[in-house]
Amino acid sequence: LTREGFSIVPDVKWDDVGGLEHLRLEFNRYIVRPIKKPDIYKAFGVDLETGFLLYGPPGCGKTLIAKAVANEAGANFMHIKGAELLNKYVGESELAIRTLFQRARTCSPCVIFFDEVDALTTSRGKEGAWVVERLLNQFLVELDGGDRRNVYVIGATNRPDVIDPAFLRPGRFGNLLYVPLPNADERASILKAIARKKPIDPSVDLDGIAKMKCEGFSGADLAHLVQKATFQAVEEITTSGEDDDDDITDTSQCTIKMTHFEQAL
């Protein structure tokens, strides 16, 4: 997957994302359908929305949903980190930013995901920051984009309070979308999405775990829980009968049970 402008359609599907229903609706409306049915939007002369800023606590699915949007739309995906952009490109000034957007246009439809957007704006005004300033101005020029042909920009931040208002104007990151910590039902939906590809024993009550035992967990915490429970299960099966010479394992026994979740919790 891209870090420097090379892109592919990501493999994250809507089914891999739990909760976040409101975002799914928004992105279907503003990105997925316009990419899939461009003629209809053209016929109505719709001014498309192309800039979005996801904000909210860490680990709640901002990156994941941006990837799922690109996948659902069949669009390419470029993942750029704010801090990297600064460190890497400052010396090369505005040209690099222009090249980035140029590449996105070349492989459009394309979703550019700018993680840690706040890193860009908080560097403004620091000592010797004139280069940063020029880089930012070029960035804003590209966002304003006279020529945005099927290039959508999704920014993400945990610190919306420090974002320069210049970024939030319509046409730039004009649509602010909150990605909250999940509630009990959303936690259950996330846990099921994460556990979908795991051999979970049918007796495990994922709803109960998510609702009763994971208060305050983010999606990333839930992913970590499943990973820990998986390790517990693997550990149990690989260390039992360790001294036996017989190393044939019946993989139908390889399931993650309630006890493993309890140990993980």
Nearer to ligand ATP, 148 or 261 (CB): 261
- Closest approach of Cβ 166 to ligand ATP, in Å? 22
Nearer to ligand ATP, 14 or 41 (CB): 14
C-beta separation of 254 from 233 below 8 A: yes
Spatial CA neighbour of 179 closest among 196, 162, 197, 154: 154
- Closest approach of Cβ 95 to ligand ATP, in Å? 28
CA dist list (Å): 107 to 28, 43, 102, 150:
20, 24, 9, 9
Structure tokens of 185? Answer: 């039902």
Q: What angle do CA 101, 103, 123 make, to 5 degrees?
A: 40
- Closest approach of Cβ 194 to ligand ATP, in Å? 5
CA dist list (Å): 242 to 9, 88, 257:
43, 50, 21
Nearer to ligand ATP, 57 or 125 (CB): 57
Q: Which residues contact 212 (CB under 8 A, 6 or more apart)?
A: none
Measured from each CB, the residue nearest to ligand ATP is 219
Nearer to ligand ATP, 35 or 156 (CB): 156
- Closest approach of Cβ 96 to ligand ATP, in Å? 23
Integer Cα distance of 6 and 84 in angstroms: 15
Nearer to ligand ATP, 51 or 61 (CB): 61
Q: What are phi and psi of 33, to 5 degrees?
A: -65, -40
Nearer to ligand ATP, 112 or 138 (CB): 112
- Closest approach of Cβ 91 to ligand ATP, in Å? 26
Residues at the interface with ligand ATP (CB under 6 A): 17-20, 58-64, 115, 156, 158, 190, 193-194, 219-220, 223
Nearer to ligand ATP, 53 or 223 (CB): 223
Alpha-helix residue ranges (DSSP H) falling in the chain: 21-27, 33-36, 38-43, 62-73, 82-89, 93-106, 117-122, 130-144, 184-195, 206-213, 219-239, 258-264
Integer Cα distance of 68 and 74 in angstroms: 10
- Closest approach of Cβ 231 to ligand ATP, in Å? 16
- Closest approach of Cβ 191 to ligand ATP, in Å? 8
